[in-house]
Amino acid sequence: MSTEEEKLLKDAKKLPWDDRLLHKNWKVRSDANIDLAALCDSIMDPKDPRFRDFGPLFKKTVADSNAAVQEKALDALIAFLKAADADVGRYAKEVCDSLVSKCLTGRTKTVEKAQFAFMLWVELEATDVFLEAMEKAIKLKVSKAVVQAVDIMFHALSEFGSKIVPPKKILKMLPLLFDHQDQAVRASSKGLTLELCRWIGKDPVKSILFEKMRDTMKKELEAELGNVTGVAKPSRKIRSEQDKELEQEAATEIAGSGICEDSAVDDPPEIDEYDLVDPVDILSPLEKSGFWEGVKATKWSERRDAVAELNKAASTKKIAPGDFSEVFRILKKLITDVNIAVAIEAIQAIGNLARGLRNHFSGGSRFLLAVLLEKLKEKKPTVTDALTQTLQTIYKSGCLTLIDALEDIKGAVKNKVPLVRSSTLNWITFCIEASNKATVLKLHKDFVPICMECLNDGTPDVRDASFAVLTSIAKMVGMRPLERSIEKLDDVRKKKLSDMIGSTSQSDSVPVLGSTSSANVSVNG
């Protein structure tokens, strides 16, 4: 280095950071990045106010036209991200956009350092910004950059897991990658898809993506899905979790005891396919389909076809919430339609609405429940099956609780038709068996008296169904909630209940609403 260059670099060190980092001389810029990296490495406080001064600079430095300087800028960015905390996430968008546009087509070292920087942004919980940047990256014209973006997402998901890196956004990107003209992009997208399967399961991935794939890609993935085994676990933690772990270790050392390695490892979260898809508006298409005219038609076939349109639309995985009040009123009327085909379509549509709207269907489910329970008087298997599925779906989808349904249930178990009474009780059994212990502990005080009263019913199926409810409660929370009530039973009923509790500990059968319960022997009151 000449004396003149040495003097230039020495004088440049007196300049403000932005003047040095954007200097016209590349050696000054390189030297500035080296100094900035060293300074960031030396800062011990992640909330040091200087980080706020440095943050806005990286947008331009990582886009340096000189490849050697660009690599030094990436070194400085990495040192900055290692030393700072999540507060610097405010600079993530601009910096990530520059990384995407200027670094993914660079030299091998440049790409590696850019990938490392992206992982640090995820570590600092700027995941949403990271994925937005990847959405832009996969639309770049240079295939090499697209492959690198897919590879970066693969590593982010593999290292941090689906709890930190939301699968939903990646799932939305994959169809575009499946149709990419470059074979390397398609191959890398296949690898990312298989990694998704490790985290969220094969079925959700197949359900959401396979309909958007070419047949060739489907066959290739199907062949490799069998190799996806084991439970995926993250190998890397976000910074806040790392800090908590250090605090716990320090506290443990003070207490003088060892730390269990497994205690810091969380189980991978359960993935709900519902959370992975976007909601679909089904109300607007109904206006154009002639639904409102069709459901009021005098011909039963026209009514059936209109409801079938609703049923088909509601079968989507996730329905956008809206004002369904008029739809609910129409369905309430059609449940009791004189034509069975129309009634079945209406009942099935209610089940699909419950599945697609979930808690947004809570008002609708309460509005329709009494009519659905009343409809249980129908003996035709096709109607019974539709009612069974819909009532079970309403509960499984979280549309209402048994406490929400209490008044309607009280009315149904006193219905003059025995099949309504027994089927309602069978539905209660299903709901209890689908609930957790805490839920059952809250509701048993309301439902045990109902069942005790039904044990005196003149119809054997009703008594058997009541025994089944009591059995499911005992199985879930133990006998204590039933003790006072059981004292009032005669010896025959006590023995029957005891036998049923014993048998259900060996078999976990769920009753069908329109059938008799698991006990075949009736006890006369």
Q: How far is residue 164's CA from residue 128's CA, in Å, rounded to a whole number?
A: 10
Instruction: Please give the pLDDT value at position 381.
Output: 95
Instruction: Please give the pLDDT value at position 288.
Output: 83
Q: Quick check: 179 and 164 in contact, CB under 8 A?
A: no
Q: What is the rounded (10 degree) CA torsion for 28, 32, 33, 39?
A: 160
Condensed to tens digits (0 to 9), the pLDDT of residues 470-486 reads 989 988 888 777 777 77
Phi and psi at 202, nearest 5°, equal -75, -40
Instruction: Please give the pLDDT value at position 256.
Output: 57
Tell me the pTM.
0.72
Instruction: Please give the pLDDT value at position 503.
Output: 59
Instruction: Please give the pLDDT value at position 111.
Output: 96
Q: What is the rounded (10 degree) CA torsion for 272, 275, 276, 278?
A: 150
Structure tokens at 139: 């639309």
Instruction: Please give the pLDDT value at position 521.
Output: 36
Domains (range + CATH), the chain: 3-226 (1.25.10.10), 289-503 (1.25.10.10)
- Cβ neighbours of residue 4 closer than 8 Å, sequence gap 6 or more: none
For 445, other C-beta atoms within 10 Å of its C-beta total 9
Q: Quick check: 435 and 465 in contact, CB under 8 A?
A: no
Instruction: Please give the pLDDT value at position 80.
Output: 97
Instruction: Please give the pLDDT value at position 298.
Output: 94
CA 306 to chain centre: 32
Q: Quick check: 376 and 423 in contact, CB under 8 A?
A: yes
Q: What is the rounded (10 degree) CA torsion for 120, 124, 129, 135?
A: 40
Condensed to tens digits (0 to 9), the pLDDT of residues 158-208 reads 999 999 999 999 999 999 998 899 999 999 999 999 999 999 888 888 888
Residue segments in the chain with a per-residue pLDDT below the cut of 50:
258-265, 504-525
